[in-house]
Chains A and B, each alone.
Chain A
């Protein structure tokens, strides 16, 4: 049976540059490196007195959050403003969709507001892809987190943190600990580390929090945290949500902390220079000890700063790709 010709990867333009930022899956190593390099430049901007560059002046970025999040929303807003863009935030979770408006109708309404870019966060995996497929082609879609599937800007800011403090990925052992099953951060991190050449990616969790088939993706699975943390250079702790105590996934937060929590003793199992990351907000005493969260090896606050730079990089690169595509389309039209 012959299917019709496959369409180009949704997030890339005709020249292979980013036009949407939906997931790290399928992006070449050179592109991830470019995002990190661009973010480095934007970090420098953040250190100046005037923390703005005029790159996206006159453009409108619309935060469309179907799922609430103050932290991610604020950093995207900051990033857009530092690029001199105008920002609108729409908490759709509280408005039209709960009144029964379909997602596609909400999108039409938003398009009518003539935004250049939507930053979207949604509870369903694949929502960012869906939106990118159904929105008019010149609107850029940035995935701020979709269900359990992906949180690509978080993945990249974690990579930036690792690169700035630990250097070459090809020499590192990285462990991701916690609720892998429900975590889009874990998925994005695994893909990013693999693409950037990390030779030893470890996930550590009880069986109930490990999804099926991870080994197929070149990841080493551990259920014993003491084994898994041995000599690692980077520890990424994931947030444990209260709901996980229901339905037989975990008996209690206390037992999880005893078995998987990052205490000072556990941290000592890792390499003496190991760094600790966490996407936040942290649950002190559940997945991580206060002492560890506040120690000099904890990069948790740095991650926030790097997050703004990464988002500035992603927003500007995606806008750049959209502009380039518009040029290409105009040229194609002219030559017809």
Chain B
């Protein structure tokens, strides 16, 4: 399978995003990236859009739904949202959309900060493996993987998509 190149995907996504925001009459949204891959993608998008606004960073560790099974991830980082959420239009960015649970956690966390006017979801990759009714508004590329395959985004410079095969499934 040939893997897409983020350097090609990002400009296309930026154009689509701009079009989408215009169609929705959204002016001056704030960007929020989900740590870590989402933040890399968000930064790349902001650069492409020539947007100088500060980026919000979300660490969703405290909102995940698997705490009673896997416990806390040992490397938690604080979230940083350097702007008001209340009544703000947001663009939420993540690298890989799989089950949709990370996005659910991110939305829950954002709403604990305040009530956004809207949330537009941007994902670099959609793996078509949704377990929840989460729909991205902008997608870089869609991939279908085998049971034992995973993808990983490496970065921040250059961004690249890696395919991993899990040996022990």
B70/A53 in contact, CB under 8 A:
no
A50 close to B (CB within 8 Å): yes
A17 close to B (CB within 8 Å): yes
B28 close to A (CB within 8 Å): no
B113/A38 in contact, CB under 8 A:
no
B69/A53 in contact, CB under 8 A:
no
Q: In the assembled complex, which residues on chain A have CB atoms less than 8 Å from the CB atom of B77?
A: 37, 41
B74/A34 in contact, CB under 8 A:
yes
A321/B71 in contact, CB under 8 A:
yes
Q: In the assembled complex, which residues on chain A have CB atoms less than 8 Å from the CB atom of B112?
A: 48-50, 52-53
Q: In the assembled complex, which residues on chain B have CB atoms less than 8 Å from the CB atom of A50?
A: 112-113
Give CA–CA (A323, B67) in the complex, Å: 8
Chain A 19-55 interface mask (CB, 8 Å, partner B; 1/0): 0000000000000001001101101110011101111
Please pick, from B70, B76, B78, B114, the residue contacting A49 in the complex, using a CB distance under 8 A.
Answer: B114
B69/A41 in contact, CB under 8 A:
no
Chain B 95-136 interface mask (CB, 8 Å, partner A; 1/0): 000000000000011001110000000000000000000000
Residues of chain B in range 63-77 having any CB-CB distance to chain A below 8 Å: 63, 67-72, 74-77
A327 close to B (CB within 8 Å): yes
A54/B113 in contact, CB under 8 A:
no
B79 to chain A, nearest CB (A): 6
Chain A interface category by residue count: 20 to 34
Q: In the assembled complex, which residues on chain B have CB atoms less than 8 Å from the CB atom of A93?
A: none
B62 close to A (CB within 8 Å): yes
Q: In the assembled complex, which residues on chain A have CB atoms less than 8 Å from the CB atom of B43?
A: none
B80 close to A (CB within 8 Å): yes
Q: In the assembled complex, which residues on chain A have CB atoms less than 8 Å from the CB atom of B109?
A: 53
Q: In the assembled complex, which residues on chain B have CB atoms less than 8 Å from the CB atom of A52?
A: 112
DSSP class of A's interface residues: helix, strand, loop or mixed?
Answer: helix
Please pick, from A17, A44, A54, A324, the residue contacting B63 in the complex, using a CB distance under 8 A.
Answer: A54
Give CA–CA (A34, B67) in the complex, Å: 17
The chain A residue with its CB closest to the CB of B84 is A49
A317 close to B (CB within 8 Å): yes
Knowing A323-B69, A324-B70, A324-B71 touch, does A48 contact B113 (C-beta < 8 A)? yes
Q: In the assembled complex, which residues on chain A have CB atoms less than 8 Å from the CB atom of B114?
A: 49
The chain B residue with its CB closest to the CB of A31 is B74
Knowing A41-B62, A49-B114, A53-B63 touch, does A317 contact B72 (C-beta < 8 A)? yes
Give CA–CA (A316, B71) in the complex, Å: 8
B78/A327 in contact, CB under 8 A:
no
B105 to chain A, nearest CB (A): 9
Please pick, from B67, B68, B72, B80, the residue contacting A38 in the complex, using a CB distance under 8 A.
Answer: B72
B59 close to A (CB within 8 Å): yes
The chain B residue with its CB closest to the CB of A316 is B72
A320/B62 in contact, CB under 8 A:
no
Give CA–CA (A56, B74) in the complex, Å: 17
Give CA–CA (A317, B75) in the complex, Å: 12
Knowing A37-B76, A40-B78, A41-B78 touch, does A54 contact B108 (C-beta < 8 A)? yes
A41/B61 in contact, CB under 8 A:
yes
Question: Footprint of A on B, CB under 8 Å?
Answer: 59, 61-63, 67-72, 74-80, 108-109, 112-114
Question: Can you offer 25 A-B residue contacts whose CB atoms are under 8 A?
Answer: A34-B74, A38-B72, A38-B76, A40-B78, A41-B61, A41-B62, A41-B76, A44-B78, A44-B79, A45-B62, A49-B112, A49-B114, A50-B113, A52-B112, A53-B62, A53-B63, A53-B109, A54-B63, A54-B108, A56-B67, A320-B71, A321-B71, A323-B67, A323-B68, A323-B71
Question: Footprint of B on A, CB under 8 Å?
Answer: 17, 34, 37-38, 40-41, 43-45, 48-50, 52-56, 316-317, 319-321, 323-324, 327
Closest 4 CB pairs of A and B: A320-B71, A53-B62, A44-B78, A50-B112
Extra pairs beyond A40-B78, A49-B113 (5, CB < 8 Å):
A37-B77, A41-B78, A54-B63, A54-B108, A55-B62
